[in-house]
A and B are shown apart, each in its own frame.
Chain A
Amino acid sequence: MADAAITATVPAARAAPAARGVLVPRLITGLALLLIWEVAVRLLAPAYVAKPTTVLMVAPHVLTDPVFLRATGNTLAAVAEGLAVALVFGTVIGLLMGRSAALEKAIRHYVNGFYAMPMIVVLPLFSLWFGYSASTRIATIIFAAIFSIIVNVADGARSVPREFLEVARSFRSSRLRMMLNIVLPSSMPYLLAGFRLAAGRALIGAVVAEFFISVGGLGYYILYNSRSYHHNEAFVGVLLLAAFGVSFEVLVQAATRRFLPWYRRDEKAD
Protein backbone atom coordinates (compact mmCIF):
# COMPACT_ATOMS: atom_id res chain seq x y z
CA MET A 1 0.00 0.00 0.00
CA ALA A 2 2.75 2.41 1.00
CA ASP A 3 4.74 1.43 -2.05
CA ALA A 4 1.80 2.13 -4.28
CA ALA A 5 1.38 5.57 -2.76
CA ILE A 6 5.02 6.42 -3.40
CA THR A 7 5.09 5.24 -6.99
CA ALA A 8 1.83 7.03 -7.66
CA THR A 9 2.90 10.41 -6.27
CA VAL A 10 6.35 10.65 -7.77
CA PRO A 11 5.34 10.89 -11.43
CA ALA A 12 2.43 13.14 -10.52
CA ALA A 13 4.72 15.59 -8.75
CA ARG A 14 7.02 15.63 -11.75
CA ALA A 15 4.21 15.98 -14.22
CA ALA A 16 2.63 19.08 -12.67
CA PRO A 17 5.27 21.69 -13.60
CA ALA A 18 5.90 19.92 -16.88
CA ALA A 19 2.24 20.25 -17.85
CA ARG A 20 2.36 23.99 -17.23
CA GLY A 21 5.51 24.36 -19.30
CA VAL A 22 3.88 22.45 -22.15
CA LEU A 23 0.52 24.19 -22.36
CA VAL A 24 1.73 27.58 -23.57
CA PRO A 25 3.82 26.35 -26.53
CA ARG A 26 0.96 24.07 -27.50
CA LEU A 27 -1.58 26.87 -27.49
CA ILE A 28 0.76 29.12 -29.45
CA THR A 29 1.41 26.40 -32.04
CA GLY A 30 -2.33 25.73 -32.33
CA LEU A 31 -3.10 29.38 -32.92
CA ALA A 32 -0.25 29.66 -35.40
CA LEU A 33 -1.53 26.66 -37.37
CA LEU A 34 -5.05 28.12 -37.47
CA LEU A 35 -3.67 31.49 -38.57
CA ILE A 36 -1.61 29.93 -41.37
CA TRP A 37 -4.66 28.01 -42.55
CA GLU A 38 -6.86 31.13 -42.46
CA VAL A 39 -4.38 33.34 -44.32
CA ALA A 40 -3.49 30.67 -46.88
CA VAL A 41 -7.15 30.04 -47.76
CA ARG A 42 -7.96 33.76 -47.93
CA LEU A 43 -5.03 34.47 -50.24
CA LEU A 44 -4.91 31.37 -52.40
CA ALA A 45 -8.22 29.52 -52.45
CA PRO A 46 -11.72 30.25 -53.73
CA ALA A 47 -14.27 31.63 -51.26
CA TYR A 48 -16.12 28.35 -50.69
CA VAL A 49 -13.06 26.58 -49.22
CA ALA A 50 -13.32 25.96 -45.48
CA LYS A 51 -11.28 28.18 -43.17
CA PRO A 52 -11.30 28.49 -39.36
CA THR A 53 -13.40 31.67 -39.07
CA THR A 54 -16.16 30.53 -41.42
CA VAL A 55 -16.21 27.00 -39.97
CA LEU A 56 -16.62 28.57 -36.54
CA MET A 57 -19.43 30.74 -37.85
CA VAL A 58 -21.48 27.87 -39.28
CA ALA A 59 -20.68 25.44 -36.44
CA PRO A 60 -23.54 26.43 -34.05
CA HIS A 61 -26.05 26.22 -36.88
CA VAL A 62 -24.76 22.82 -38.09
CA LEU A 63 -24.52 21.29 -34.63
CA THR A 64 -28.20 22.05 -33.95
CA ASP A 65 -29.38 21.07 -37.42
CA PRO A 66 -31.64 17.97 -37.12
CA VAL A 67 -30.35 16.64 -40.47
CA PHE A 68 -26.79 16.72 -39.18
CA LEU A 69 -27.74 15.19 -35.82
CA ARG A 70 -29.67 12.39 -37.50
CA ALA A 71 -26.69 11.69 -39.79
CA THR A 72 -24.34 11.57 -36.80
CA GLY A 73 -26.69 9.27 -34.91
CA ASN A 74 -26.95 6.94 -37.92
CA THR A 75 -23.21 6.62 -38.32
CA LEU A 76 -22.53 6.20 -34.62
CA ALA A 77 -25.24 3.56 -34.25
CA ALA A 78 -23.83 1.62 -37.20
CA VAL A 79 -20.29 1.86 -35.82
CA ALA A 80 -21.46 0.73 -32.38
CA GLU A 81 -23.43 -2.18 -33.81
CA GLY A 82 -20.60 -3.31 -36.08
CA LEU A 83 -18.01 -2.93 -33.32
CA ALA A 84 -20.14 -4.96 -30.91
CA VAL A 85 -20.44 -7.83 -33.38
CA ALA A 86 -16.73 -7.65 -34.23
CA LEU A 87 -15.83 -7.55 -30.54
CA VAL A 88 -17.87 -10.64 -29.59
CA PHE A 89 -16.88 -12.80 -32.55
CA GLY A 90 -13.34 -11.46 -32.70
CA THR A 91 -12.77 -12.23 -29.03
CA VAL A 92 -14.16 -15.75 -29.27
CA ILE A 93 -12.14 -16.58 -32.40
CA GLY A 94 -9.03 -14.92 -30.99
CA LEU A 95 -9.22 -16.83 -27.70
CA LEU A 96 -9.71 -20.16 -29.45
CA MET A 97 -6.94 -19.38 -31.90
CA GLY A 98 -4.53 -18.39 -29.17
CA ARG A 99 -5.17 -21.53 -27.12
CA SER A 100 -5.45 -24.16 -29.83
CA ALA A 101 -2.33 -24.84 -31.88
CA ALA A 102 -4.33 -26.71 -34.51
CA LEU A 103 -6.80 -23.90 -35.10
CA GLU A 104 -3.98 -21.39 -35.06
CA LYS A 105 -2.15 -23.27 -37.80
CA ALA A 106 -5.34 -23.69 -39.80
CA ILE A 107 -6.53 -20.08 -39.91
CA ARG A 108 -3.50 -17.91 -39.05
CA HIS A 109 -2.60 -17.13 -42.64
CA TYR A 110 -6.16 -16.23 -43.51
CA VAL A 111 -6.54 -13.91 -40.53
CA ASN A 112 -3.22 -12.19 -41.28
CA GLY A 113 -4.06 -12.04 -44.97
CA PHE A 114 -7.42 -10.37 -44.43
CA TYR A 115 -5.83 -8.08 -41.86
CA ALA A 116 -3.19 -6.95 -44.36
CA MET A 117 -5.76 -6.40 -47.09
CA PRO A 118 -6.83 -2.78 -47.57
CA MET A 119 -10.28 -3.21 -46.04
CA ILE A 120 -12.12 -0.93 -48.45
CA VAL A 121 -11.53 -3.14 -51.51
CA VAL A 122 -14.37 -5.39 -50.36
CA LEU A 123 -16.92 -2.57 -50.73
CA PRO A 124 -17.87 -3.30 -54.35
CA LEU A 125 -18.29 -6.97 -53.47
CA PHE A 126 -20.38 -6.21 -50.38
CA SER A 127 -22.54 -3.84 -52.41
CA LEU A 128 -23.18 -6.74 -54.81
CA TRP A 129 -24.03 -9.03 -51.92
CA PHE A 130 -26.07 -6.77 -49.70
CA GLY A 131 -27.24 -4.13 -52.15
CA TYR A 132 -27.03 -0.37 -51.72
CA SER A 133 -28.32 -0.48 -48.16
CA ALA A 134 -27.27 -0.02 -44.55
CA SER A 135 -26.39 -3.75 -44.33
CA THR A 136 -23.43 -3.10 -46.61
CA ARG A 137 -22.23 -0.44 -44.18
CA ILE A 138 -22.52 -2.79 -41.20
CA ALA A 139 -20.75 -5.59 -43.08
CA THR A 140 -17.92 -3.22 -44.03
CA ILE A 141 -17.55 -2.03 -40.43
CA ILE A 142 -17.40 -5.60 -39.12
CA PHE A 143 -14.89 -6.62 -41.78
CA ALA A 144 -12.74 -3.57 -41.06
CA ALA A 145 -12.80 -4.10 -37.29
CA ILE A 146 -12.77 -7.82 -36.59
CA PHE A 147 -9.30 -8.85 -37.72
CA SER A 148 -7.39 -6.43 -35.51
CA ILE A 149 -9.37 -7.81 -32.54
CA ILE A 150 -8.69 -11.45 -33.49
CA VAL A 151 -4.97 -10.82 -34.01
CA ASN A 152 -4.54 -8.98 -30.71
CA VAL A 153 -6.70 -11.30 -28.59
CA ALA A 154 -4.89 -14.34 -30.00
CA ASP A 155 -1.58 -12.71 -29.05
CA GLY A 156 -2.93 -12.15 -25.55
CA ALA A 157 -4.30 -15.68 -25.17
CA ARG A 158 -0.95 -17.08 -26.29
CA SER A 159 0.96 -15.11 -23.69
CA VAL A 160 -1.02 -16.26 -20.63
CA PRO A 161 1.55 -17.34 -18.05
CA ARG A 162 1.85 -21.11 -18.07
CA GLU A 163 1.69 -21.43 -14.27
CA PHE A 164 -1.82 -19.94 -14.15
CA LEU A 165 -3.13 -22.68 -16.40
CA GLU A 166 -1.22 -25.41 -14.60
CA VAL A 167 -2.69 -24.40 -11.26
CA ALA A 168 -6.17 -24.30 -12.76
CA ARG A 169 -5.68 -27.70 -14.33
CA SER A 170 -4.48 -29.25 -11.11
CA PHE A 171 -7.68 -27.97 -9.48
CA ARG A 172 -9.54 -29.78 -12.27
CA SER A 173 -11.23 -26.69 -13.60
CA SER A 174 -13.03 -27.18 -16.90
CA ARG A 175 -11.73 -25.79 -20.19
CA LEU A 176 -14.59 -23.33 -20.44
CA ARG A 177 -13.94 -21.95 -16.96
CA MET A 178 -10.25 -21.67 -17.70
CA MET A 179 -11.07 -19.67 -20.83
CA LEU A 180 -13.50 -17.34 -19.06
CA ASN A 181 -11.73 -16.92 -15.74
CA ILE A 182 -8.07 -17.02 -16.69
CA VAL A 183 -7.36 -16.61 -20.39
CA LEU A 184 -9.90 -13.86 -21.04
CA PRO A 185 -8.96 -11.57 -18.12
CA SER A 186 -5.30 -12.12 -18.80
CA SER A 187 -5.77 -11.12 -22.46
CA MET A 188 -7.71 -7.98 -21.55
CA PRO A 189 -4.93 -5.45 -22.28
CA TYR A 190 -4.44 -6.99 -25.72
CA LEU A 191 -8.17 -6.93 -26.28
CA LEU A 192 -8.31 -3.24 -25.44
CA ALA A 193 -5.37 -2.50 -27.73
CA GLY A 194 -7.08 -4.43 -30.51
CA PHE A 195 -10.34 -2.64 -29.81
CA ARG A 196 -8.64 0.73 -30.08
CA LEU A 197 -7.34 -0.11 -33.54
CA ALA A 198 -10.68 -1.65 -34.46
CA ALA A 199 -12.59 1.49 -33.47
CA GLY A 200 -10.46 3.66 -35.75
CA ARG A 201 -10.83 1.22 -38.61
CA ALA A 202 -14.58 0.92 -38.02
CA LEU A 203 -14.96 4.69 -38.30
CA ILE A 204 -13.05 4.69 -41.60
CA GLY A 205 -15.14 1.74 -42.81
CA ALA A 206 -18.39 3.55 -42.00
CA VAL A 207 -17.37 6.77 -43.77
CA VAL A 208 -16.07 4.98 -46.86
CA ALA A 209 -19.18 2.80 -47.07
CA GLU A 210 -21.38 5.90 -46.89
CA PHE A 211 -19.38 7.53 -49.70
CA PHE A 212 -19.70 4.42 -51.78
CA ILE A 213 -23.34 3.46 -51.36
CA SER A 214 -24.78 6.89 -50.45
CA VAL A 215 -26.54 5.65 -47.35
CA GLY A 216 -27.44 8.41 -44.87
CA GLY A 217 -24.83 9.27 -42.24
CA LEU A 218 -22.00 11.59 -41.36
CA GLY A 219 -19.84 10.46 -44.30
CA TYR A 220 -22.69 11.06 -46.71
CA TYR A 221 -23.38 14.43 -45.09
CA ILE A 222 -19.75 15.42 -45.75
CA LEU A 223 -19.88 14.15 -49.31
CA TYR A 224 -23.18 15.85 -50.10
CA ASN A 225 -22.22 19.22 -48.64
CA SER A 226 -18.78 19.35 -50.18
CA ARG A 227 -20.28 18.51 -53.56
CA SER A 228 -22.65 21.44 -53.25
CA TYR A 229 -19.74 23.67 -52.20
CA HIS A 230 -20.83 23.93 -48.57
CA HIS A 231 -17.32 23.15 -47.41
CA ASN A 232 -17.66 24.85 -44.05
CA GLU A 233 -20.67 22.76 -43.09
CA ALA A 234 -18.98 19.61 -44.33
CA PHE A 235 -15.87 20.42 -42.34
CA VAL A 236 -17.85 20.51 -39.09
CA GLY A 237 -18.58 16.85 -39.89
CA VAL A 238 -14.87 16.13 -40.29
CA LEU A 239 -14.16 17.80 -36.94
CA LEU A 240 -16.79 15.62 -35.30
CA LEU A 241 -15.21 12.50 -36.81
CA ALA A 242 -11.84 13.64 -35.49
CA ALA A 243 -13.42 14.10 -32.06
CA PHE A 244 -14.78 10.54 -32.18
CA GLY A 245 -11.38 9.21 -33.24
CA VAL A 246 -9.62 11.00 -30.40
CA SER A 247 -12.21 10.08 -27.80
CA PHE A 248 -11.95 6.36 -28.65
CA GLU A 249 -8.21 6.72 -28.17
CA VAL A 250 -8.55 8.57 -24.87
CA LEU A 251 -11.25 6.21 -23.54
CA VAL A 252 -9.21 3.08 -24.19
CA GLN A 253 -6.10 4.62 -22.67
CA ALA A 254 -8.06 5.67 -19.59
CA ALA A 255 -9.68 2.23 -19.30
CA THR A 256 -6.29 0.53 -19.51
CA ARG A 257 -4.88 2.76 -16.80
CA ARG A 258 -7.94 2.45 -14.59
CA PHE A 259 -8.74 -1.24 -14.87
CA LEU A 260 -5.45 -2.80 -15.91
CA PRO A 261 -2.82 -0.80 -14.08
CA TRP A 262 -0.65 -3.90 -13.93
CA TYR A 263 -0.10 -3.92 -17.61
CA ARG A 264 2.31 -2.06 -19.90
CA ARG A 265 2.99 -3.04 -23.44
CA ASP A 266 3.59 -1.64 -26.90
CA GLU A 267 0.39 -2.44 -28.71
CA LYS A 268 0.47 -4.19 -31.99
CA ALA A 269 -0.13 -1.36 -34.38
CA ASP A 270 -1.83 -1.61 -37.73
Chain B
Amino acid sequence: MQTSIRRYVPFWLSLAVGIALWEVAGRSTSAAFMVPFSATLVRLWELIVAGEFLGQLAESAKLFFTGFVLALVVGIPLGMLLARVRALRIGIEPYLMLIYATPLVALIPFILSMMGFGFAPKVLVVFLFAVFPVLYNTVEGARSIKPEMIEVAHSFRSGEWALWREVMLPYTLPYTMTGVRQAIGRALVGMVAAEFFLSSTGLGQLIMGASQNFDTGGVFASIFVIGLIGVGLMRVGLMIERHFARWRQ
Protein backbone atom coordinates (compact mmCIF):
# COMPACT_ATOMS: atom_id res chain seq x y z
CA MET B 1 0.00 0.00 0.00
CA GLN B 2 2.74 2.39 1.06
CA THR B 3 4.82 1.59 -2.02
CA SER B 4 1.91 1.96 -4.40
CA ILE B 5 1.19 5.41 -3.01
CA ARG B 6 4.81 6.38 -3.40
CA ARG B 7 4.81 5.07 -6.94
CA TYR B 8 1.98 7.38 -7.91
CA VAL B 9 3.54 10.51 -6.40
CA PRO B 10 5.17 11.62 -9.69
CA PHE B 11 1.89 11.09 -11.51
CA TRP B 12 -0.15 13.27 -9.14
CA LEU B 13 2.64 15.81 -9.00
CA SER B 14 2.81 16.15 -12.78
CA LEU B 15 -0.97 16.34 -12.92
CA ALA B 16 -1.00 19.12 -10.32
CA VAL B 17 1.72 21.06 -12.15
CA GLY B 18 -0.11 20.69 -15.45
CA ILE B 19 -3.36 21.95 -13.97
CA ALA B 20 -1.54 24.84 -12.29
CA LEU B 21 0.10 25.81 -15.59
CA TRP B 22 -3.24 25.62 -17.37
CA GLU B 23 -4.82 27.78 -14.66
CA VAL B 24 -2.08 30.42 -14.84
CA ALA B 25 -2.05 30.45 -18.64
CA GLY B 26 -5.82 30.77 -18.71
CA ARG B 27 -5.88 33.64 -16.23
CA SER B 28 -3.11 35.61 -17.90
CA THR B 29 -4.60 35.50 -21.42
CA SER B 30 -7.86 36.79 -22.76
CA ALA B 31 -10.93 34.68 -22.05
CA ALA B 32 -11.62 34.37 -25.77
CA PHE B 33 -8.25 32.68 -26.25
CA MET B 34 -7.96 30.35 -23.31
CA VAL B 35 -10.00 29.49 -20.25
CA PRO B 36 -8.43 28.46 -16.94
CA PHE B 37 -8.96 24.94 -15.62
CA SER B 38 -11.37 26.06 -12.88
CA ALA B 39 -13.54 27.95 -15.36
CA THR B 40 -13.51 24.93 -17.68
CA LEU B 41 -14.85 22.73 -14.90
CA VAL B 42 -17.48 25.33 -14.00
CA ARG B 43 -18.59 25.52 -17.64
CA LEU B 44 -18.68 21.72 -17.83
CA TRP B 45 -20.86 21.61 -14.73
CA GLU B 46 -23.19 24.24 -16.23
CA LEU B 47 -23.52 22.17 -19.39
CA ILE B 48 -24.26 19.03 -17.38
CA VAL B 49 -26.85 20.79 -15.21
CA ALA B 50 -28.51 22.29 -18.29
CA GLY B 51 -29.12 18.67 -19.33
CA GLU B 52 -27.63 19.25 -22.76
CA PHE B 53 -24.35 17.52 -22.11
CA LEU B 54 -25.37 14.03 -21.05
CA GLY B 55 -27.85 13.77 -23.90
CA GLN B 56 -25.13 14.63 -26.43
CA LEU B 57 -22.75 12.21 -24.75
CA ALA B 58 -25.32 9.42 -25.08
CA GLU B 59 -25.87 10.37 -28.72
CA SER B 60 -22.12 10.10 -29.41
CA ALA B 61 -21.84 6.83 -27.50
CA LYS B 62 -24.68 5.33 -29.56
CA LEU B 63 -22.92 6.30 -32.79
CA PHE B 64 -19.54 5.04 -31.58
CA PHE B 65 -20.78 1.65 -30.41
CA THR B 66 -23.04 0.99 -33.38
CA GLY B 67 -20.23 1.63 -35.84
CA PHE B 68 -17.58 -0.10 -33.77
CA VAL B 69 -19.60 -3.26 -33.07
CA LEU B 70 -20.56 -3.44 -36.74
CA ALA B 71 -16.87 -3.21 -37.64
CA LEU B 72 -16.05 -6.10 -35.29
CA VAL B 73 -18.97 -8.23 -36.51
CA VAL B 74 -17.90 -7.78 -40.12
CA GLY B 75 -14.14 -7.42 -39.66
CA ILE B 76 -13.27 -10.37 -37.45
CA PRO B 77 -15.10 -13.15 -39.39
CA LEU B 78 -14.04 -11.68 -42.74
CA GLY B 79 -10.47 -11.39 -41.51
CA MET B 80 -10.51 -15.01 -40.31
CA LEU B 81 -11.91 -16.14 -43.66
CA LEU B 82 -9.10 -14.31 -45.43
CA ALA B 83 -6.66 -15.85 -42.97
CA ARG B 84 -7.79 -19.38 -43.80
CA VAL B 85 -8.32 -19.16 -47.57
CA ARG B 86 -4.82 -18.42 -48.79
CA ALA B 87 -5.70 -17.61 -52.41
CA LEU B 88 -8.26 -15.05 -51.30
CA ARG B 89 -5.83 -13.49 -48.86
CA ILE B 90 -3.03 -13.14 -51.39
CA GLY B 91 -5.40 -11.60 -53.90
CA ILE B 92 -6.88 -9.05 -51.54
CA GLU B 93 -3.82 -8.15 -49.39
CA PRO B 94 -2.44 -5.27 -51.48
CA TYR B 95 -5.85 -3.63 -51.74
CA LEU B 96 -6.33 -3.85 -48.00
CA MET B 97 -2.99 -2.14 -47.51
CA LEU B 98 -3.96 0.51 -50.04
CA ILE B 99 -7.19 1.35 -48.22
CA TYR B 100 -5.45 1.15 -44.85
CA ALA B 101 -2.98 3.83 -45.99
CA THR B 102 -5.65 6.07 -47.54
CA PRO B 103 -7.00 8.94 -45.44
CA LEU B 104 -10.62 7.74 -45.38
CA VAL B 105 -11.87 11.12 -44.15
CA ALA B 106 -11.67 12.11 -47.81
CA LEU B 107 -14.70 9.88 -48.46
CA ILE B 108 -16.98 11.83 -46.11
CA PRO B 109 -18.17 14.34 -48.75
CA PHE B 110 -19.21 11.45 -51.03
CA ILE B 111 -21.09 9.76 -48.20
CA LEU B 112 -22.78 13.06 -47.43
CA SER B 113 -24.03 13.67 -50.95
CA MET B 114 -25.13 10.05 -51.46
CA MET B 115 -26.68 9.26 -48.10
CA GLY B 116 -27.63 12.64 -46.67
CA PHE B 117 -27.93 13.59 -43.04
CA GLY B 118 -29.35 10.55 -41.21
CA PHE B 119 -27.86 8.24 -38.61
CA ALA B 120 -26.84 5.58 -41.17
CA PRO B 121 -24.19 7.65 -43.02
CA LYS B 122 -22.53 8.51 -39.71
CA VAL B 123 -22.46 4.86 -38.70
CA LEU B 124 -20.91 4.08 -42.08
CA VAL B 125 -18.11 6.58 -41.39
CA VAL B 126 -17.32 5.07 -37.97
CA PHE B 127 -17.52 1.58 -39.49
CA LEU B 128 -15.12 2.45 -42.33
CA PHE B 129 -12.63 4.00 -39.91
CA ALA B 130 -12.72 0.98 -37.61
CA VAL B 131 -13.00 -2.04 -39.89
CA PHE B 132 -9.73 -1.81 -41.82
CA PRO B 133 -7.33 -1.99 -38.86
CA VAL B 134 -9.14 -5.19 -37.76
CA LEU B 135 -8.96 -6.73 -41.24
CA TYR B 136 -5.41 -5.62 -41.91
CA ASN B 137 -4.01 -6.92 -38.64
CA THR B 138 -5.90 -10.22 -38.82
CA VAL B 139 -4.45 -10.85 -42.26
CA GLU B 140 -1.04 -9.85 -40.91
CA GLY B 141 -1.48 -12.47 -38.18
CA ALA B 142 -2.47 -15.10 -40.72
CA ARG B 143 0.71 -14.34 -42.60
CA SER B 144 2.70 -15.11 -39.47
CA ILE B 145 1.48 -18.74 -39.45
CA LYS B 146 4.07 -20.95 -41.08
CA PRO B 147 2.52 -23.17 -43.76
CA GLU B 148 4.40 -26.08 -42.20
CA MET B 149 2.26 -25.80 -39.07
CA ILE B 150 -0.91 -26.30 -41.05
CA GLU B 151 0.75 -29.15 -42.95
CA VAL B 152 1.73 -30.84 -39.70
CA ALA B 153 -1.80 -30.42 -38.40
CA HIS B 154 -3.14 -31.95 -41.60
CA SER B 155 -0.74 -34.88 -41.50
CA PHE B 156 -1.99 -35.62 -37.99
CA ARG B 157 -5.44 -35.72 -39.61
CA SER B 158 -6.72 -32.84 -37.55
CA GLY B 159 -10.17 -31.68 -38.57
CA GLU B 160 -11.10 -28.14 -39.48
CA TRP B 161 -12.31 -27.40 -35.95
CA ALA B 162 -9.12 -28.67 -34.30
CA LEU B 163 -7.03 -26.73 -36.80
CA TRP B 164 -8.84 -23.53 -35.88
CA ARG B 165 -8.60 -24.18 -32.16
CA GLU B 166 -4.94 -25.19 -32.07
CA VAL B 167 -3.32 -23.19 -34.86
CA MET B 168 -5.42 -20.51 -36.50
CA LEU B 169 -6.98 -18.78 -33.50
CA PRO B 170 -3.96 -18.72 -31.17
CA TYR B 171 -1.83 -17.23 -33.94
CA THR B 172 -4.19 -14.69 -35.45
CA LEU B 173 -6.14 -13.55 -32.39
CA PRO B 174 -3.33 -11.49 -30.80
CA TYR B 175 -2.92 -9.63 -34.08
CA THR B 176 -6.67 -9.19 -34.43
CA MET B 177 -6.73 -7.66 -30.96
CA THR B 178 -3.99 -5.20 -31.94
CA GLY B 179 -6.35 -4.29 -34.76
CA VAL B 180 -9.21 -3.93 -32.29
CA ARG B 181 -7.16 -1.54 -30.18
CA GLN B 182 -6.30 0.57 -33.21
CA ALA B 183 -9.93 0.39 -34.31
CA ILE B 184 -11.06 1.89 -30.99
CA GLY B 185 -8.90 4.97 -31.57
CA ARG B 186 -9.90 5.30 -35.19
CA ALA B 187 -13.59 4.82 -34.48
CA LEU B 188 -13.34 7.75 -32.08
CA VAL B 189 -11.80 9.93 -34.81
CA GLY B 190 -14.51 8.71 -37.20
CA MET B 191 -17.19 9.56 -34.68
CA VAL B 192 -15.96 13.13 -34.26
CA ALA B 193 -15.44 13.56 -38.02
CA ALA B 194 -18.96 12.28 -38.72
CA GLU B 195 -20.41 14.63 -36.12
CA PHE B 196 -18.50 17.57 -37.55
CA PHE B 197 -19.16 17.07 -41.23
CA LEU B 198 -22.40 15.07 -41.50
CA SER B 199 -25.47 15.98 -39.49
CA SER B 200 -24.13 17.71 -36.42
CA THR B 201 -24.97 15.80 -33.22
CA GLY B 202 -23.35 14.65 -30.00
CA LEU B 203 -20.09 15.90 -28.59
CA GLY B 204 -19.02 17.08 -32.05
CA GLN B 205 -21.99 19.41 -32.20
CA LEU B 206 -21.26 20.61 -28.68
CA ILE B 207 -17.75 21.68 -29.69
CA MET B 208 -18.86 23.18 -32.98
CA GLY B 209 -21.71 25.10 -31.37
CA ALA B 210 -19.47 26.45 -28.60
CA SER B 211 -16.83 27.49 -31.12
CA GLN B 212 -19.38 29.28 -33.31
CA ASN B 213 -20.70 31.16 -30.26
CA PHE B 214 -17.15 32.07 -29.22
CA ASP B 215 -17.84 30.15 -26.00
CA THR B 216 -14.21 29.20 -25.37
CA GLY B 217 -15.14 27.64 -22.02
CA GLY B 218 -17.56 25.30 -23.75
CA VAL B 219 -14.92 24.36 -26.34
CA PHE B 220 -12.37 23.58 -23.63
CA ALA B 221 -14.90 21.64 -21.58
CA SER B 222 -15.92 19.43 -24.51
CA ILE B 223 -12.34 18.85 -25.70
CA PHE B 224 -11.37 17.99 -22.12
CA VAL B 225 -14.11 15.37 -21.92
CA ILE B 226 -13.29 13.87 -25.32
CA GLY B 227 -9.62 13.76 -24.31
CA LEU B 228 -10.53 11.83 -21.15
CA ILE B 229 -12.70 9.45 -23.17
CA GLY B 230 -9.81 8.94 -25.61
CA VAL B 231 -7.39 8.11 -22.81
CA GLY B 232 -9.91 5.79 -21.14
CA LEU B 233 -10.70 3.92 -24.34
CA MET B 234 -6.98 3.61 -25.15
CA ARG B 235 -6.50 1.97 -21.73
CA VAL B 236 -9.32 -0.47 -22.44
CA GLY B 237 -7.81 -1.26 -25.83
CA LEU B 238 -4.38 -1.96 -24.32
CA MET B 239 -5.97 -4.21 -21.70
CA ILE B 240 -7.81 -6.22 -24.35
CA GLU B 241 -4.66 -6.50 -26.45
CA ARG B 242 -2.49 -7.62 -23.52
CA HIS B 243 -5.08 -10.13 -22.39
CA PHE B 244 -5.01 -11.91 -25.74
CA ALA B 245 -1.28 -11.53 -26.34
CA ARG B 246 -0.25 -12.99 -23.00
CA TRP B 247 1.06 -16.22 -24.44
CA ARG B 248 3.34 -14.35 -26.84
CA GLN B 249 5.43 -12.83 -24.06
Chain B, residue nearest A22 (CB): B90
Hey, which chain A residues are within 8 Å of B182, CB to CB? 269-270
Tell whether, in the assembled complex, residue A121 and residue B95 are in contact, meaning their CB atoms are under 8 Å apart.
no
Tell whether, in the assembled complex, residue B95 and residue A33 are in contact, meaning their CB atoms are under 8 Å apart.
yes
Of the listed stretches B43-51, B150-158, B191-199, name the one at the interface; the rest are far from the partner chain: B191-199
Of the listed stretches B65-73, B100-108, B117-125, B164-172, name the one at the interface; the rest are far from the partner chain: B100-108
Chain A, residue nearest B234 (CB): A116
Hey, which chain A residues are within 8 Å of B99, CB to CB? 242
Tell whether, in the assembled complex, residue B230 and residue A128 are in contact, meaning their CB atoms are under 8 Å apart.
no
Tell whether, in the assembled complex, residue B110 and residue A124 are in contact, meaning their CB atoms are under 8 Å apart.
no
* Closest-CB distance, B199 to chain A (whole angstroms): 15
Tell whether, in the assembled complex, residue B103 and residue A211 are in contact, meaning their CB atoms are under 8 Å apart.
no
Interface: A180 (CB within 8 A): no
Tell whether, in the assembled complex, residue B113 and residue A227 are in contact, meaning their CB atoms are under 8 Å apart.
yes
Hey, which chain B residues are within 8 Å of A179, CB to CB? none
- A61–B214 Cα distance when bound, in Å, is 43
- Given A125-B219, A231-B113, verify A211-B91 contact (CB < 8 Å): no
Hey, which chain B residues are within 8 Å of A118, CB to CB? 185, 188-189, 191-192, 226, 230
Hey, which chain B residues are within 8 Å of A108, CB to CB? 14
Tell whether, in the assembled complex, residue A226 and residue B10 are in contact, meaning their CB atoms are under 8 Å apart.
no
Q: Which A117-148 residues have C-beta < 8 A from chain B?
A: 117-125, 127-129
Q: Which of A107, A128, A203 has the most CB of B within 10 A?
A: A128
Chain A, residue nearest B10 (CB): A105
Hey, which chain B residues are within 8 Å of A119, CB to CB? 189
Tell whether, in the assembled complex, residue B110 and residue A231 are in contact, meaning their CB atoms are under 8 Å apart.
yes
- A121–B210 Cα distance when bound, in Å, is 12
Tell whether, in the assembled complex, residue B110 and residue A50 are in contact, meaning their CB atoms are under 8 Å apart.
yes
Interface: A112 (CB within 8 A): yes
- A25–B94 Cα distance when bound, in Å, is 11
Tell whether, in the assembled complex, residue A30 and residue B211 are in contact, meaning their CB atoms are under 8 Å apart.
no
Tell whether, in the assembled complex, residue B18 and residue A110 are in contact, meaning their CB atoms are under 8 Å apart.
yes
- Given A118-B230, A227-B109, A242-B98, verify A25-B87 contact (CB < 8 Å): yes
Interface: A59 (CB within 8 A): no
Tell whether, in the assembled complex, residue A241 and residue B106 are in contact, meaning their CB atoms are under 8 Å apart.
yes
Interface: A49 (CB within 8 A): yes
Interface: B63 (CB within 8 A): no
Tell whether, in the assembled complex, residue A116 and residue B230 are in contact, meaning their CB atoms are under 8 Å apart.
yes
- A30–B193 Cα distance when bound, in Å, is 29
Interface residues on chain A, size class: 35 or more
Tell whether, in the assembled complex, residue B92 and residue A116 are in contact, meaning their CB atoms are under 8 Å apart.
no
- A235–B109 Cα distance when bound, in Å, is 10
Interface: A254 (CB within 8 A): no
Interface: A263 (CB within 8 A): no
User: Which of A105, A124, A222, A238 makes the CB contact (< 8 A) with B219?
Assistant: A124
Chain B, residue nearest A45 (CB): B114
- Given A107-B14, A109-B15, A120-B193, verify A237-B106 contact (CB < 8 Å): yes
Hey, which chain B residues are within 8 Å of A107, CB to CB? 14
Chain A, residue nearest B112 (CB): A226
* Closest-CB distance, A73 to chain B (whole angstroms): 17
- A234–B32 Cα distance when bound, in Å, is 37
Q: Which of A107, A203, A229, A245 has the most CB of B within 10 A?
A: A245
- Given A22-B90, A29-B95, verify A207-B103 contact (CB < 8 Å): yes
Chain B, residue nearest A219 (CB): B106
Hey, which chain A residues are within 8 Å of B204, CB to CB? 121
User: Which of A49, A222, A242 makes the CB contact (< 8 A) with B101?
Assistant: A242
Interface: A6 (CB within 8 A): no
Hey, which chain B residues are within 8 Å of A127, CB to CB? 211
- A105–B16 Cα distance when bound, in Å, is 13
* Closest-CB distance, A165 to chain B (whole angstroms): 23
- A41–B224 Cα distance when bound, in Å, is 42
Hey, which chain A residues are within 8 Å of B220, CB to CB? 125
Hey, which chain A residues are within 8 Å of B102, CB to CB? 238, 241-242, 245-246
* Closest-CB distance, B4 to chain A (whole angstroms): 16
Tell whether, in the assembled complex, residue A234 and residue B110 are in contact, meaning their CB atoms are under 8 Å apart.
yes
Tell whether, in the assembled complex, residue A222 and residue B189 are in contact, meaning their CB atoms are under 8 Å apart.
no
Tell whether, in the assembled complex, residue B192 and residue A120 are in contact, meaning their CB atoms are under 8 Å apart.
yes
Tell whether, in the assembled complex, residue B185 and residue A229 are in contact, meaning their CB atoms are under 8 Å apart.
no
Hey, which chain B residues are within 8 Å of A219, CB to CB? 105-106
* Closest-CB distance, A55 to chain B (whole angstroms): 12
Interface: B223 (CB within 8 A): yes
Chain A, residue nearest B86 (CB): A25
Chain B, residue nearest A113 (CB): B231
Tell whether, in the assembled complex, residue A245 and residue B103 are in contact, meaning their CB atoms are under 8 Å apart.
yes
Q: Which 5 A-B pairs have the closest CB atoms?
A: A29-B91, A124-B211, A245-B101, A226-B109, A242-B102
| Contact sample, A vs B, 6 pairs, CB 8 Å cutoff | A26-B93, A112-B234, A116-B227, A128-B32, A204-B103, A204-B105
